[in-house]
Structure 1
Amino acid sequence: MEFKPSEQEQPISSQQEYGAMSRSIFILMLFLTCFTGGVAMAEAKTGASLGTKGNGQGRYAHLTTADSVRDIVEHPAFKSFSQLILPTEQDTRYLDTPLSNVRSLMPYHGHVNPDTVVGALNRMIDDVNDGKAVFYDFYAEQQKRDDPAKENTGLFFYGGEKGAPFAIVCPGGGFSYVGSLHEGFPLALEISKKKYNAFVIRYRIGSQQKATEDLAAAITYIFENAEALGVSTAGYSLWGGSAGARMVGNIAFSGVAAYKGDDLPKPSTAVIAYTGQSSFSEDFPPTFMTTSANDGIANVLSVDRRVKNLREAGVEVEYRRYRTAGHGFGLGTGTDAEGWLDLAVQFWEKHLNPSISH
């Protein structure tokens, strides 16, 4: 038997989910400017790009916290996709913001650590220097021509061990921005350090439905190109924070095909952080959930209730309820939530295909 969300927990607007935030936040969330273009792309069998690689010539320099947002946008290692690293696409006012104040780009997120952000970006620079692909288009060119908003999508890749299972990390941002700098790249980096392959999705903002369709398209793309990507599709996991956790919850509840993807298995594990979404069912995947009691956006009682409902439906749930980490804590560095990602990986490992070794 399935239990559908109550009316108030159906897919909702950013203002409903984030009513505790002031309207002034939305005024700040305009679009960051796209400066760069053009990239040589190989064609995958889906017709989409099979990755943007460095040319292996020279060594691109690392970023530092003394650099600015402009230095990300104009960095040669990120040519053609740099604007998709940022929370939004076209707001020149942020270009001179120092990375030491990168938290100002992500008002829904807390405990943003500039050194952590820069470290995760520098891992991508290192990969480009080594001639590795770090960015993939999961929509074909014709799909993007039919819907220009799909230009603002893609997958960032943090490779682990070749042939190891993959995770897709879905950052939050109230569907008004995508907080990959804090809630995507740093998580993917840590997952890759554990030898797993990690992708960070850049999805269309403004619509939970379209964002989840992007996630379904990304899963489909990875399955279709798994051999070329060097990943195993067995036992994959989906990770999401806040709005991104809603996307994960939608796939966990309804499946990939329900959001215009292929008829593919649900993830072996759903990792869901700080969201008030309430959907659950008996066939929901094993779920790791985390939140903080002092979260001012996602009501902790809603999270408690969902955990209870999932467990009563027979779903295995590991729940880590912290006290003072607030909302959007990412890795939780410097908070009482620090270390939660290690626990989530261990939970995922319990539900991997036992024949997989890495």
Structure 2
Amino acid sequence: MSKPQQRHAAMNKAFFILMLILACCLAGIDMADANTGTPLKARGGEYTHLTTDGSVRDLVEHPAFKGFSQLMLPTERDIRYLDTPLSNVRSLMPYHGHVNPDTVVVALNHMIDEVNDSRTVFYDFYTDQQKLADPDKENTGLFFYRGAKGAPFAIVCPGGGFSYVGSLHEGFPLASEVSRKMLNAFVIRYRIGSQLKATQDLAAAISYILRNAEELGVSRDGYSLWGGSAGARMVGHIALSGVAAYGGEDLPKPSTVVIAYTGQSSFSEDFPPTFMTSSANDGIASVSSVDKRVKNLRDAGVEVEYQRYRTAGHGFGLGTGTDAEGWLDLAIQFWQKQLNKTSSR
């Protein structure tokens, strides 16, 4: 081939590559994946949904969750999880039962839809200065599932024995269902390893939301706290002693607390109205301890609704496929009952 022909061939190749790049940009394909044909974004610039056919790596590397995806996992920065199929997501949360992979993925895709609508789904409740002073606070944050603008909010505190945070099963799915009732819901990612620090994180999160309620589009009145197992202990501490007792601002106690399957026994006369649930066959949180706490709260004059199931076990989340299925709707109705009492005064 002559030199003029070589130059012409090189120019044609360069033009072809330029057209390929332009076509990929118009199609919403990231060139990093152009060789595989796998789009990071769907046509029109929308992020694609996760499926149970994917892996934990797909979640961690999903561009919709860039910058905070590790905090969605039970323990952050643990590479052992990455190749676990999402169909086996239950293996990441050993203290939890009845983990439904489809339910997990639906709740995650709810957040992807929010990102596609240009809505923020993750918020830091500690400042950069606070994180610099205590690097462990880097492992915290709030995931926001929006309901109606100006509606009250719930904070969902997943369990995990303070050794992990089971947001995938006991946080995101619950918050997603609360938001579908047009109420706002946050899922807290708190520091693991310390019940005290976790409760301090909850106090800081409550303070942050109430301080920024207008910007977030939530009501400052009538908030509720929801917790399962270890998360329910955090809720119980705030319900007993208040937000300021754990380093937060001087704020009202929640209008309602929802406490699921924990053996914590604390109570007082000024405990907020309480919805409690447990299962008789719970092998971690003794149902007799829950029964006793319910009695003590009622004897102290606290309004309590108690749903005691037989075979749901421990950490049943939404209770899908168990005799506890539907408990969340009852808890929301209890919260709404307290809201109606407040609004009628």
Q: TM-score range by the shorter chain?
A: 0.7 to 0.9
User: Structure 1 residue aligned with 2:169, among 154, 157, 182?
Assistant: 182
Report the secondary structure of 2:325's partner residue.
Answer: coil
Check if 1:288 corresponds to 2:288.
Answer: no
Q: Unpaired runs of 5+ in structure 1?
A: 1-53
Check if 1:119 corresponds to 2:93.
Answer: no
Give, in angstroms, the shift of residue 233 of structure 1.
1.5
CA distance in 1, matches of 2:178, 2:331: 10
Partner residue in 1 for 2:179: 192
Residue correspondence of structure 1 range 316-335 to structure 2 within 5 A:
316-335=303-322
Q: Is the 8 A contact 1:99 1:114 kept in 2?
A: yes
Partner residue in 2 for 1:6: none
Q: TM-score, length-normalised on structure 1? A: 0.83
Q: Is the 8 A contact 1:127 1:133 kept in 2?
A: yes
Deviation readout 1:17-75 (Å, 9 max, x if unpaired): xxxxxxxxxxxxxxxxxxxxxxxxxxxxxxxxxxxxx9xx7100000001100011100
Whichever structure has more helix as a proportion of its residues is 2
CA distance in 2, matches of 1:135, 1:300: 35
Give, in angstroms, the shift of residue 356 of structure 1.
5.3
Q: Is the 8 A contact 1:235 1:353 kept in 2?
A: no
Residue correspondence of structure 1 range 6-155 to structure 2 within 5 A:
58-155=45-142
Amino acid at match of 1:347: F
Deviation readout 1:267-307 (Å, 9 max, x if unpaired): 00000000000000000000000000000000000000000
Give, in angstroms, the shift of residue 92 of structure 1.
1.1
User: Structure 1 residue aligned with 2:247, among 248, 251, 260?
Assistant: 260
Partner residue in 2 for 1:345: 332
CA distance in 1, matches of 2:343, 2:80: 48
| Ranges of 4+ aligned residues in structure 1 off by more than 4 Å | 353-357
Report the secondary structure of 1:213's partner residue.
Answer: helix
Partner residue in 2 for 1:270: 257
CA distance in 1, matches of 2:113, 2:77: 27
Give, in angstroms, the shift of residue 83 of structure 1.
0.1
Give, in angstroms, the shift of residue 353 of structure 1.
5.2
Give, in angstroms, the shift of residue 355 of structure 1.
6.6
Deviation readout 1:188-209 (Å, 9 max, x if unpaired): 0000000000000000000000
Partner residue in 1 for 2:299: 312
Check if 1:279 corresponds to 2:232.
Answer: no
Give, in angstroms, the shift of residue 164 of structure 1.
0.2
Q: Unpaired runs of 5+ in structure 2?
A: 1-40
Amino acid at match of 1:228: E
CA distance in 1, matches of 2:45, 2:240: 47
CA distance in 2, matches of 1:95, 1:64: 15
Check if 1:217 corresponds to 2:198.
Answer: no
Partner residue in 1 for 2:159: 172
CA distance in 2, matches of 1:291, 1:305: 12
Report the secondary structure of 1:234's partner residue.
Answer: coil
Report the secondary structure of 1:280's partner residue.
Answer: coil
Amino acid at match of 1:304: D
Amino acid at match of 1:96: D
CA distance in 1, matches of 2:201, 2:113: 27
Task: Let me know the Cα RMSD of the aligned residues.
Answer: 1.4
Residue correspondence of structure 1 range 238-253 to structure 2 within 5 A:
238-253=225-240
CA distance in 1, matches of 2:76, 2:271: 34
Provide closer, same or farther for how the CA distance between residues 132 and 274 of structure 1 changes in structure 2, counting only shifts above 3 A: same
Amino acid at match of 2:261: Y
Check if 1:299 corresponds to 2:286.
Answer: yes
Deviation readout 1:137-180 (Å, 9 max, x if unpaired): 00000000000000000000000000000000000000000000
Give, in angstroms, the shift of residue 90 of structure 1.
2.3
CA distance in 2, matches of 1:349, 1:59: 35
Q: TM-score, length-normalised on structure 2? A: 0.86
Check if 1:336 corresponds to 2:323.
Answer: yes
Give, in angstroms, the shift of residue 354 of structure 1.
4.8
Amino acid at match of 2:45: G
Equivalenced residue count is 303
Amino acid at match of 2:299: E
Identity of aligned residues (%): 82
CA distance in 1, matches of 2:96, 2:237: 22
